[in-house]
Structure 1
């Protein structure tokens, strides 16, 4: 199995995978995974993806074993007895001092390091595991940069496998630039990769180039872009950050693999983000129908279907999918149980078969830990679950409104002004109820939440002045808040984005800078990421 043969067979394996023939892909790739670097890499990718999807301890262990074996296989093809970097070897001795196979081995090794870091992240909950992941990430990035320098030194070098080398480097550097651009500098120091800073535009550009070319990593580049625009940008990005060029790229892949379950899933998500929730439901159901081998993909569909029904305020259907998730998915039993409880609060009593308060109280016992610490969103819903189970008189839609905000739901709905208006009516109703029967304990916190969400809806409806008034109401009540201290820093963020959309960059920066004055509130890390990205966007010359 030479280099060209291995690239051809691995491409066939990937095509099988993209046509939902998962077992066939694995059976083709596995036999050579200890003797061929690209077979080792592709098998590693398949096993790590499966581990992340299932979250089953058995699959996670297989993922870790595969990652270690893949590193060992790739390492056997790397240059031996290397004291200096590859780029310096080429500078000193010329390209003939380096075998092409050794360059490919470096790229495969760097990619396997990232995969091992991903498995370590979900398997080892210790600080040591966290640091190991950071070291592997830093080493991988350095390998990609070194290989890029080698290619710069040999511009006329061509071979049958050259495009795979170039595409792999673009994928690696693109992914790193994108990932590191999202991380605040303080977090980079913790990751032990100090000195590396990413440029988001460079990263997106490299990934788009890589996804547009024909090589072994093209589909990974495309999936990285799709995940970024469909999830990361919605959760953390500012509201002007969409690149329409990704639509054409996505459609090219969808035409090539019309039944690829991952591409159909992203098609559904794309349509959700354009406000076509009913169409998205059709695509998500198709996802469930076209493959039955990796049932965990069904769970991703259940999650999105649940949200489609929540956005449309179809509570019975939303509850159905929340129930399926709580029964079958291992990802976050706490989140799924809380989802069921908050939807039950809105169902007519004759349709309710479970004890809502019992579900709320159960959430805390279902939390998981990563690196010995709680997942912030799980901690948030556990505290809320206890509050709603042990108190009465709260507005029945309040838990789902909070949950919607925590998952960027209003941002997802922003293209559907009719739905934003419908949710605004629900918030108005809650405001009237809370004013008539204010809670002595939670009154200020409750009304402040509704004012934040009211401001958010008004912002999406283009009513900036009224939105600003409601945001300021929350900030003015800061000292009266008893529990929900996250409301004020998050309001500063929403106010900053409002100013940004209006083109008032000075006020936007001032509001976002205010976030640094707050510590120890719910979902703090998430807001720090968001603020970092927004401030970076405002600082760019083209923003002005």
Structure 2
């Protein structure tokens, strides 16, 4: 902190008779602003799917801002596509950027001290370069953590710490300035995350957020886009603009706008991400001095999203990724009519749709926002409409955008039980990026297993049955051979460990029962994977009923005697019943769901011990019980007992029941995919904390 402390203190005020800055200094300032503007405009091309164009323009400049832009370009190439091949280049560029910005920051501080200018600064001298340094450190940290080396990851955490300190200092300086000038900073827990002094378009010209979202901007509008356009803002869903202090009154030059939008975006990202790390990492990070704050982080991101520059675009992308990605996998969320009042824990659909419309207007050629359109529909239980949009979004110039778009198509194909497309889409993932070939081959293989089972039980020709059986065997066996090549913090990736354990289990069973590998597979592995990605949450009733049929024991292809032995394995029964319970809950059949979960909870925990046991099923059943309790909180009319009694007290008891189940899972210890289920648990805890506070039960 000592190295950065000096510039946060700023320069001492000079007398009112201080002379004007020398013309040469003014010229330098003009050139700096011109460089900043050019670099911002060039870097923004990334958000319109034009990394090549951004790099071409950025190479023509040599300022620290241009170096940052070049760093962002190569960072986006590596992070969106999970491509290790460009990570080394990313680190080199970011190191050059950091060194140059540090030199420029020191120069700006020296010039400010020499001139002794008396002015009420929003930020200390050189803050624009301090922000560049923090940006470079943040991106370097992300790349380092993605690296297979634990040593590199630890270096990344050190850079993360330095960026945290810098950004915190910038935000504190901004808050102090606003307080001195009597402007509410919006740092309190408002239900509306727009700050009182914000009006984005006055701050920096750009497209206005539409009141209704019209979907795709092209002339031809298909059925999916019409559906999306119907998800328009309601009368009270739009973000209100304050009639008090406007941002045009506060941020009067491009440099201040850059620092404000950038610091809010970067610090918001950091505070939000730190709340999503597994508990073990969270404890480690708290020891070295920094913690996440989801509420504050999201507020800062919403603030940055108001600005029509690269900072606003990245802030918007992170927000939409958070709401359409992380929260789409969660179950315990505020009620739908409360979401707009609880943007930090719920899904503010109206604000997200408005934000998406604004980004589509600003960057009409970008597949990133088109991809988010598809996710909006998927989260609205319109998977087929989502697929229509995603399938029309395959012409992006950025391979990284194609990768995430194709992966979303693959998942949606799995959720609607289109096994051929599911297989082909996951195999296509192999052609686009190398994130996890093990997982891609495995899911393509289990899609082929379902096709084989359809043929086996559907009276297909023997040649066709054997063709699909052979293909399933080939795909499934490829995955484990590639496992371990992708690592996170020097450890195997969780899903790859899951695949290796699953394949080992089936191979051992195949030998023990004397059947082929594909015939040794238990209840639908496709439905199991759907549960792990929480696809049931996005399904229509007809699709859920289809899942029920697919989970039948009758789908197995092993001979009768072998099949009975498979059915007798407790962890197989547990996985099947957890999936069936999630389906029943999604259909509104709570009693059926509870009965299925009770059968799992009655199983001995020791039965799930072993190198190939699916040990996640038991904690997942506990989590599902928490979800059932929350559904009853949401819909007290589903209460089973006839004695209504004290409604408020009953609700409170149900909330505490939900909390107890979540606490049990949180304290479970390690198990397969504990981080994935743990994120759902943490989101649920955040929701309960908000709900208790909202009802004055915070001390409960």
Give the Cα–Cα distance (whole angstroms) in 2 for the partners of residues 77 and 354 of structure 1: 63
Q: 343-352 vs 261-270, which deviates more?
A: 343-352
Q: CA deviation at 1:215?
A: 4.0
Task: Tell me how far apart the structure 1 counterparts of residues 390 and 500 of structure 2 sit (CA, whole Å).
Answer: 29
Contact 2:274/2:292 (<8 A) preserved: yes
1:9 counterpart = 2:45: no
Q: Distance in 1 between matches of 2:556 and 2:440?
A: 30
Report the Cα offset of residue 207 of structure 1.
1.0
The unaligned stretches of length 5 or more in structure 2 are 1-29, 182-249, 335-345, 456-462, 634-653
2:339 matched residue in structure 1: none
Distance change >3 Å, CA 9–CA 459, structure 1 → 2: same
Look up the match of 2:353. Answer: 247
In 2, Cα distance between equivalents of 1:424 and 1:485: 22
State the SS of the aligned residue for 2:564. Answer: coil
Which one has the bigger helix percentage?
1
User: 1:173–1:18: structure 2 CA closer, same or farther, 3 Å change rule?
Assistant: closer
* Compared CA separation, residues 321 and 216, structure 1 to 2 (3 A): closer
Using the TM superposition, give the Cα deviation of residue 50 of structure 1 relative to its aligned residue in structure 2, in angstroms.
Answer: 0.2
Matched, 1:116 2:140: yes
Give the structure 2 partner of residue 378 of structure 1: 496
User: Retained in 2: the 8 A contact 1:19–1:257?
Assistant: yes
Q: Which residue of 2 aligns with 1:27?
A: 56
How many residues matched?
Answer: 530
1:130 to 129, 153, 162: 153
Return the alpha-carbon distance in structure 1 between the equivalents of residues 362 and 312 of structure 2.
13
For residues 457-495 of structure 1, the C-alpha deviation after alignment (integer angstroms, 9 at most, x for no partner) is 111122222212211111111344451221111111121
Contact 2:108 2:126 in 1 (8 A): no
What's the CA shift for 1:510?
1.1
**Secondary structure of residue in 2 paired with 1:275:** coil
Supply the distance in 2 between the matched residues of 1:237 and 1:164 (Cα, whole angstroms): 37
Bigger mean CA deviation after superposition, 94-103 or 189-198: 94-103
Kept after mapping to 2: 8 A contact 1:75/1:109: yes
Q: Using structure 2 for the length normalisation, give the TM-score.
A: 0.70
**Alpha-carbon deviation of 1:453?**
0.9
Distance (whole Å) between structure 2 residues aligned to residue 445 and residue 296 of structure 1: 38
Output the TM-score relative to the length of structure 1.
Answer: 0.89
Answering whether residue 585 of structure 2 is matched by residue 467 of structure 1, we say no
Change (3 A) 1:447 1:27: same
Secondary structure, aligned partner of 2:450: coil
Give, in whole Å, the separation in 1 of the partners of 2:392 and 2:481.
35
Please, which of 481, 484, 488 is the counterpart of residue 365 of structure 1?
A: 481
From 289, 312, 329, the counterpart of 1:218 = 312
**In 1, are the aligned partners of 2:521 and 2:556 still within 8 Å (CA)?**
no
Greater C-alpha radius of gyration: 2
Give the 3 Å change call, closer, same or farther, for CA 184–525 of structure 1 in structure 2: closer
Q: Per-residue CA shift, 1:161-211, capped at 9, x if unaligned?
A: 222222122112322221223345542232366443333222222211210
1:542 is matched with which residue? 694
1:450 counterpart = 2:579: no
In structure 1, how many angstroms separate the alpha carbons of the residues matched to 2:470 and 2:42?
A: 46
**Local SS of the residue matching 2:275:** helix
In 1, Cα distance between the equivalents of 2:597 and 2:522? Answer: 23
8 Å contact kept, 1:10–1:39: yes
Maintained 8 Å contact 1:360/1:386 = no
Residues 342-351 or 19-28, more deviating: 342-351
Q: 1:165 aligns with which of 259, 263, 272?
A: 259
1:282-318 deviation per Cα after TM superposition (whole angstroms, max 9, x unaligned) = 32222212x3x43343232222222222222121222
Alpha-carbon distance in structure 2 between the residues aligned to 1:325 and 1:103? 42
Contact 1:135 1:191 in 2 (8 A): no
Give the C-alpha shift of residue 442 in structure 1.
Answer: 5.9
- Aligned-residue offset at 1:274: 1.4
- What's the CA shift for 1:137? 1.4
Task: Name the structure 2 match of 1:486.
Answer: 616
Distance verdict in 2 for CA 1:472–1:219, change over 3 Å: same
Q: How far apart, in 2, do the equivalents of 1:458 and 1:236 lie?
A: 17
DSSP-derived class of the 1:76 partner: helix
Q: 1:535 to 1:360 in 2, by over 3 A?
A: same
Q: Structure 2: how far apart are the matches of 1:305 and 1:516? A: 32
Distance in 2 (alpha carbons) for counterparts of 1:94 and 1:402:
66
SS at match of 1:438: helix
Where do 1:256-275 residues align within 5 Å?
A: 256-275=362-381
Cα distance in 2 between the residues matched to 1:100 and 1:30: 29
Distance in 1, matches of 2:400 and 2:172, equals: 40
Contact preservation (8 Å) 1:141, 1:172: no
Alpha-carbon distance between aligned partners in 1 of 2:263 and 2:331, rounded to the nearest angstrom:
26
The corresponding residue for 2:665 is 515
Deviations 1:371-428 (A, max 9, x none): 2211111100121123334524556652112211222222333xx2221222123224
How far, CA to CA, are the matches of 1:300 and 1:149 in structure 2?
Answer: 36
Confirm or deny: 8 A CA contact 1:7 1:216 kept in the other structure.
no
Answer whether contact 2:137 2:163 (CA < 8 A) is retained.
yes
2:171 is aligned with 1:148: yes
- Number of the residue aligned with 1:176: 270
d(CA) in 1 for partners of 2:618 and 2:118? 60
Query: How far apart are the structure 1 equivalents of 2:471 and 2:278?
Result: 42
- SS at 1:31's partner residue? coil
Flag the 1:208–1:61 CA change in 2: closer, same or farther, 3 A.
same
The answer on whether the counterparts of 2:448 and 2:469 sit within 8 Å (CA) in structure 1 is no
- Long gaps (5+) in structure 1: none
Please point out which of 208, 216, 234 is paired with 2:302.
208
1:340 aligns with 2:490: no
Counterpart position of 1:63 = 90
User: 1:502 and 2:632 equivalent?
Assistant: yes
| Residues 499/433 of structure 1: CA separation in 2 closer, same or farther (3 Å cut) | farther
Deviation at 1:538, TM superposition (A): 1.2
